[in-house]
Amino acid sequence: MIKVRTPTLLVNLKTYSEGTGKRALDLARAAEKVGSETGVYIGLAPQFADIAMIAQSVSIPVFAQHVDAINPGAFTGYILPESIKEAGAVGALINHSEKRLVLADIDATLNRIRELDLASVVCGNNPEVSAAAAVLNPDVIAMEPPELIGTRIACSKARPEVVTGTVKLVRRVNPKIVILCGAGITTGDDVAAALELGTDGVLVASGVVKAKSPYKTLLDFASSMTRR
Amino acid sequence: MIKVRTPTLLVNLKTYSEGTGKRALDLARAAEKVGSETGVYIGLAPQFADIAMIAQSVSIPVFAQHVDAINPGAFTGYILPESIKEAGAVGALINHSEKRLVLADIDATLNRIRELDLASVVCGNNPEVSAAAAVLNPDVIAMEPPELIGTRIACSKARPEVVTGTVKLVRRVNPKIVILCGAGITTGDDVAAALELGTDGVLVASGVVKAKSPYKTLLDFASSMTRR
Amino acid sequence: MIKVRTPTLLVNLKTYSEGTGKRALDLARAAEKVGSETGVYIGLAPQFADIAMIAQSVSIPVFAQHVDAINPGAFTGYILPESIKEAGAVGALINHSEKRLVLADIDATLNRIRELDLASVVCGNNPEVSAAAAVLNPDVIAMEPPELIGTRIACSKARPEVVTGTVKLVRRVNPKIVILCGAGITTGDDVAAALELGTDGVLVASGVVKAKSPYKTLLDFASSMTRR
Amino acid sequence: MIKVRTPTLLVNLKTYSEGTGKRALDLARAAEKVGSETGVYIGLAPQFADIAMIAQSVSIPVFAQHVDAINPGAFTGYILPESIKEAGAVGALINHSEKRLVLADIDATLNRIRELDLASVVCGNNPEVSAAAAVLNPDVIAMEPPELIGTRIACSKARPEVVTGTVKLVRRVNPKIVILCGAGITTGDDVAAALELGTDGVLVASGVVKAKSPYKTLLDFASSMTRR
């Protein structure tokens, strides 16, 4: 079963003010509009407390930003996979650069994710780490060079060899996986460049969330995906 | 301003199946009913993804199980204090035995909590740690001996000297703080014993969440608080 | 360059009393004796504070139990690769079940280890995790099912399919790597079984460190390796 | 029993190149010389792998940079208090800004430290955190504003109110504790200022370790302590 359609445009709201609560919902509505206008698969990763509200209000897929490798039980403050699923999430980011996991927990989290038929997006910080993670068979690998995250210097423009290296190493261990890249993606050109390099889409955050008009930015991004 | 009324009955839903999603809402309704029948202050700490739904559905105070010492920004997977407040929480557990924080982060979290006018419940595992935490001036200290958490052996019955030791050491550094104890609280008698020892209430979890009838158990707990 | 000879017998002293200070040195002398009597490559992983003393006193290879992914700088309390090398270590365990690392740090640690021409032994808790780690190209992979660590139930006897699964998955991504298994190894038979299953040796701890006669136990283990 | 004499000059070698291996020993000899020339209590905190060599070579007190809250057992890669004691350390830094501990572990570490009759230096990042730590009754509290660590801006000059605030809050909960401050201490004047503000000494690192002549710098620091 295909869990994440391509080309893929995944928006991580992080803990930005512009992506919290009511403003997260505004963003979700903009993303839903662009998705329906362009046909591009747009997913949104809001904060945990906003998952339910967004999943109930829009039809686009909602991802958790993290999930713990736990079963139901005594884990105060943890993120239970069942909880984010019941709230309406269809998947989760795992091992984002800002929320790294020990290797064994990436594996254990993926087992729990599969058990609940959720989609998994494992992040890696370089080609080698992405390939190692790909051995564990997630649905999506998203490679982001940490030094470009939050900048306006696109990985697809500034570090093309890291993107193609990721595609090559990941495909070698796991040919079917969806591959995204991210960090610094700010324009439709950056998105087009990412696809040119062999990826299936992008993982974006501040470039959309902090844009003057998230709707226009998303439309620019999505259009550059369908134009190819 | 008094943020947490006494006597206090705080229910931590952890990541139990019985406290997730729709079942968390059932629990919240039971707690609301008992609160209105007995006049006891009953607070509920559900999972992050359930905060909004519960806060919208019932009138009792909702707490997050944890919150991170962060400001809005690039912190994927973290718990932003603004987020849980906008979702409807009035406060948060901090440093629960299952989600311990480094000392400097307890301090930083309390600063953020105060900035947002939320209520803080800092957990400690023994009298000394509780007193150290009390120096940082949270609204509530909740002492739970970890070895009794999840058992049916009440701290107030099995370790009375640890409870009175906590009351004594905490009052010495901070006379006005609300003091709770928890771990193994299963009956109204356990609750009454906790108050007898000088605490202002209890922090409970499995004793309520996994009870055959959470409503009856909560009523038993709350009644033993008003009977004094 | 071959950094770790096979068959390999690696002894982790952990933080056992029997493996601390002077008693660690006694163990090292026993291991040196068995190594010279049998020709088997025996490595020892003592605590950090014992590395220098042991490396100066015996001729067998000494490994650190962990090393951090740092360069020289302001990292109070961390394990600098340069430090353990200057103290006399020839390599390090990485990602032991009791000291797990985030995936990106395993990669970064291996880069530092290679830069200093040290040997790397990356631990994995199952075949999939071991294969993921093997993508990062350490010198040695050591697979240990955590639930058998510290028991007297040998992984090579009780979970042969996990050992052969590891050999198969790891060889697929990295054919040249040295593969060890561990957990519960108590007798020469357990060691022989590990080699029969396709591994290049074993990683042991309590089975040797807490043995009545570490010398006799090591001789039993090493003999069963040369007998093949 | 007094475990740490005052005035106190504690030198943290961190993981600086200039403080690793043979160069750590050179530093220790310089510190020993200054100690014997001035009578000031100078302690040194080298890396774990250097503790034994330094403790055997010089007569000044040696501290570990960190120690774990564990008993002997299966804790690969951890720092066992017994191990650093047998290697010759007389105490340990605990909760340094670069190696922060969860609150309950500060308490548990102090219990282990006392059990072995070692000296404890607990670090805090501000007055409140230092006072909270002081409740747990360590031998020494060392307050260092993290933003000044590694700079040449002395806490005693740039943030005097933070130093006096620490002295005041800590003395209130624990009148007998030795109080140090640190961060940015580069000259004898900085040291003198720290004592003027009511502290019993300083915790220093790069100011000494990276000085052109550590001997001269230490002599400058120590002289400004005896001159009072």
Q: Report pLDDT for C228.
A: 63
Residue A1 has a pLDDT of: 55
D166, pLDDT greater than 90: yes
**CB contacts, 8 Å: B72 with chain A:** 15-17, 20
Residue A227 has pLDDT above 90, yes or no: no
Closest by CA to D155, choosing from D113, D201, D116, D114, is D201
Predicted local confidence at residue A150, as pLDDT: 86
Per residue in B154-206, pLDDT (tens digit) is: 999 999 999 999 999 999 999 999 999 999 999 999 999 999 999 999 999 99
- Three-class secondary structure of residue D170 per DSSP: helix
Q: Which of A150, A208, A152, A223 is nearest to A23 (CA)?
A: A208
pLDDT higher than 90, residue B228: no
The pLDDT confidence band at residue A221, using thresholds 50, 70 and 90, is very high
Concerning whether A161 is annotated as a catalytic residue, the answer is no
Q: Which of B66, B96, B115, B128 is catalytic?
A: B96
Average pLDDT (D40-53) is 97
CB–CB of D52 and C48 under 8 A? no
pLDDT at B3: 86
**For position D164, what pLDDT does the model report?**
97
Cβ atoms of residues D125 and D97 within 8 Å: yes
| Residue among D80, D97, D99 whose CB faces C15 most closely | D80
Residues above pLDDT 70, as percent of chain B: 99
Look at residue D2 in the predicted model and tell me its pLDDT.
Answer: 64
Confidence at residue C172, expressed as pLDDT on a 0 to 100 scale = 94
Inter-residue contact C163 to C143 (CB < 8 Å): yes
pLDDT of amino acid B54:
98
| Chain C interface test: which of D48, D63, D94 (most C C-beta within 10 Å) | D48
Residue A206: pLDDT band by 50, 70, 90 thresholds? very high
Establish whether C144 is a catalytic residue. Answer: yes
Contact assignment for C72 to D15 by CB distance below 8 Å: yes
CB A158 within 8 A of CB A194: no
Q: Quick check: D54 pLDDT over 60?
A: yes
Nearest CA in chain A to C174: A173
The residue in chain B having the minimum alpha-carbon distance to the alpha carbon of residue D174 is B173
| A3 pLDDT tier (thresholds 50, 70, 90) | confident
**Hey, which chains touch B, using 3+ CB pairs under 8 Å?**
A, D
pLDDT at A214 over 60: yes
- pLDDT(A179) > 80: yes
**CA dist list (Å): D81 to C47, C49, D28:** 11, 11, 22
- CB-CB under 8 Å, B76 with A97: yes
- The one-letter amino acid code at C61 reads P
Contacts of B124 in chain D (CB under 8 A): 103-104
Mean pLDDT of B203-221: 96
Cβ-Cβ contacts under 8 Å, A97 against chain B: 76
Task: Give the lowest-confidence range in B33-47, B149-163, D15-29.
Answer: B149-163
User: Token match 């229910």: residue?
Assistant: B11
- Contact state of C103 with A128 under an 8 Å Cβ cutoff: no
Instruction: For D76-124, write each residue's pLDDT tens digit.
Output: 999 999 999 999 999 999 999 999 999 999 999 999 999 999 999 999 9
Burial class (CB in 10 A: 0-12, 13-18, 19+), A101: buried
Amino acid at A216: K
Is the ipTM above a cut-off of 0.85? yes
Residues 6+ apart with CB under 8 A from A1: none
Residue A153 CA, chain-centre distance (Å), reads 18
* Chain A CB within 8 Å of residue B227 CB: no
| pLDDT at residue C3, as a whole number | 86
Residue D91 confidence (pLDDT): 98
Averaged confidence pLDDT in chain B: 96
The residue ranges of chain C whose pLDDT is under 70 are: 1-2, 228
- Contact by Cβ (8 Å): B121, B142: yes
Write the DSSP assignment of C110-121 as a string of letters: HHHHHHTT-EEE
Distance CA B222, CA A174 (A): 57
Confidence of residue D149 (pLDDT cuts 50, 70, 90): confident
Min distance A101 CA to chain C CA atoms (Å): 5
How does DSSP classify residue C62?
B
The residues of D annotated as belonging to the active site are 96, 144
pLDDT at A204: 96
How far is residue C194's CA from residue C144's CA, in Å, rounded to a whole number? 12
Predicted confidence at residue B5, as pLDDT, reads 92
Mean pLDDT over all residues of chain D? 96
Task: Dump the DSSP string for chain A.
Answer: ---S-SSEEEEE-TB-GGGSTHHHHHHHHHHHHHHHHH--EEEEE--GGGHHHHHHH-SS-BEES---S--SBS-TT---HHHHHHTT--EEEES-TTS--BHHHHHHHHHHHHHTT-EEEEEESSHHHHHHHHTT--SEEEE--GGGTTSSS-HHHH-HHHHHHHHHHHHHH-TT-EEEEESS--SHHHHHHHHHTT-SEEEESHHHHTSS-HHHHHHHHHHHHH--
* Residues of chain C with C-beta less than 8 angstroms from the C-beta of A107: 125-126, 128-129, 132
C138 contacts in A (CB within 8 Å)? none
pLDDT digits (tens, 9 = 90+) for A121-157: 999 999 999 999 999 999 999 999 999 988 899 999 9
Helix or strand holding residue B204 (H, E): strand B201-204
Over residues A88-94, mean pLDDT: 98
D86 contacts C76? CB cut-off 8 A: no
Residues of D in contact with C20 (CB under 8 A): 72, 80, 82-83, 86
Helical segments of chain B, H only? 22-38, 51-57, 81-87, 103-115, 127-134, 155-158, 160-173, 188-196, 206-209, 214-226
pLDDT-derived band at B149, boundaries 50, 70, 90: confident
> Is D12 in contact with C76 (Cβ distance < 8 A)?
yes
Q: Which residues between 106 and 135 in chain A have a beta carbon less than 8 angstroms from any beta carbon of chain C?
A: 106-107, 124-126, 128-129, 131-133, 135
